Amino acid sequence: MPVASSVLDLIGNTPLVDVSALSPAPGVRILAKLEGQNPGGSIKDRIAKAMVEAAEADGILKPGATLLEPSSGNTGIGLALVCRVKGFRLRIVLPENVSVERRQLLEIFGAEIVSSPAAEGSNGAVRMAQRMVAEASDDVVFLYQYANPNNPRSHETGTGPEIWRDCPEVTDVVAGLGTSGTLMGVGRYLKSRNPAVRVWAVEPPAGELVDGLRSLDDGFVPPVFDPSVLDRKTIVRPRESVEWTRRLTAEVGIFAGISSGAAMAGAARAAEQLGEGVIVVILADGGWKYLSTGAWTDPLDEVVERARRIIYF
């Protein structure tokens, strides 16, 4: 292998692994794309690199600039990694009671953390970040993953073509729905190569966990989301997500995060409905940040109760 000039060159080009042993339908192959193999540990490394490099190329991001982003999860970590290597400052806005592992990882990579009220959740972090950018006097850039076209574009030029290159016989792709970037970019690319490919979105029952909304008008739909790219959208609940996360490790030796368990549950449901086909399922991150949830070690009922209250998508 050629020597990488920096860890950023290791972003993307993730492996596909045949996990058909987990398929409930003998006529349906399931291949898992292991995004936990990215250097920052998740698929978000792709969008972090793409958004930052696009901003540099457009002249929006100049040397010495500070990036601001609301994220308590993988996007924050991906941006922290990219900023560390490229020499930008990063401020992350996150709800005040995220798990200590996430805060530590962000700090290790040199990010400055600004806390937003826990009760306002992620919507609150986004609003705070928007206020901070409006009030900022120094050179502060808000890349805003929910609306930045380089988010889905990184998947249209990276994740999607990799799937097509490695598995041109793909009939269905299954992925978790967060900002929607993965589904939009991968979906658009694969349908441009084969219009018959179906795109299945899996989501957590997030709305049930958020009690802070005063009205439906407080809701939020990511600006990059275009529902016409999807063929199906299904909720996968914490119990099934944790069960499949355990099966991934126990049966095929894949140590992935809880959203990956949810995506596998979605792939299994799709397999049952299809009867035959080739499903590519995207496993967004590794299991490391979820060890403290006891997902693999504690009684399932306890883990499910905890999982209802933590970030795993």
Residue 170 as a binder of another protein (CB under 8 A): the answer is: no
Check if 241 is active-site: no
Nearer to another protein, 84 or 237 (CB): 237
Residue 5 as a binder of another protein (CB under 8 A): the answer is: no
Q: How far is the CB of 203 from another protein (least distance, A)?
A: 7
Site for another protein in 124-153 (CB under 8 A): 125-126, 145-146
Tell the burial category of 139 from Cβ atoms under 10 Å away from its Cβ (0-12, 13-18, 19+): middle
Which listed residue (72, 259, 260, 289) is catalytic? 259
Residue 171 as a binder of another protein (CB under 8 A): the answer is: no
Q: How far is the CB of 207 from another protein (least distance, A)?
A: 3
Query: How is 213-267 classified by DSSP, letter by letter?
Result: -SSGGG----TT--GGG-SEEEE--HHHHHHHHHHHHHHH---B-HHHHHHHHHH
Contacts of 287 (CB under 8 A, 6+ apart): 36, 245, 249, 255, 256, 257, 295, 296
How many of the other CB atoms lie within 10 Å of CB of 46? 26
Choose which of 12, 88, 111, 120 interacts with another protein (CB under 8 A). Answer: 120
Q: In whole angstroms, what is the distance from residue 3 CA to residue 190 CA? A: 30
Choose which of 203, 242, 281, 287 interacts with another protein (CB under 8 A). Answer: 203
Residue 121 as a binder of another protein (CB under 8 A): the answer is: yes
Q: Which stretch binds another protein (CB under 8 A): 59-67, 77-85, 92-100, 248-256?
A: 92-100
Choose which of 65, 136, 210, 300 interacts with another protein (CB under 8 A). Answer: 210
Residue 258 as a binder of another protein (CB under 8 A): the answer is: no
Residue 98 as a binder of another protein (CB under 8 A): the answer is: yes
Choose which of 13, 192, 194, 292 interacts with another protein (CB under 8 A). Answer: 292
Q: How far is the CB of 258 from another protein (least distance, A)?
A: 11
Residue 16 as a binder of another protein (CB under 8 A): the answer is: no
Residue 105 as a binder of another protein (CB under 8 A): the answer is: no
Q: Which stretch binds another protein (CB under 8 A): 21-29, 79-87, 156-164, 173-181?
A: 173-181
CA distances from 294 to 207, 228, 278, 288, 300 (A): 24, 38, 32, 11, 9
Residue tagged 């490099």 (tokens): 53
Whose CA is closest to 33, among 294, 307, 272, 267? 267
Choose which of 114, 118, 274, 300 interacts with another protein (CB under 8 A). Answer: 118
Check if 292 is active-site: no
How many of the other CB atoms lie within 10 Å of CB of 262? 29
Q: Which two tokens stand for residue 11?
A: 């972003």
The span from the first CA to the last CA of the chain, in angstroms, equals: 33
Query: 97 near 74, Cβ under 8 Å?
Result: no
Whose CA is closest to 264, among 282, 249, 278, 277? 282
Site for another protein in 44-83 (CB under 8 A): 70-73, 75
Q: Which two tokens stand for residue 41?
A: 């540990």
Binding positions for another protein, rule: CB under 8 A: 70-73, 75, 94-95, 97-101, 118-123, 125-126, 145-146, 177-180, 203-222, 227, 230-237, 292-294, 306, 309-313
Catalytic residues: 44, 259
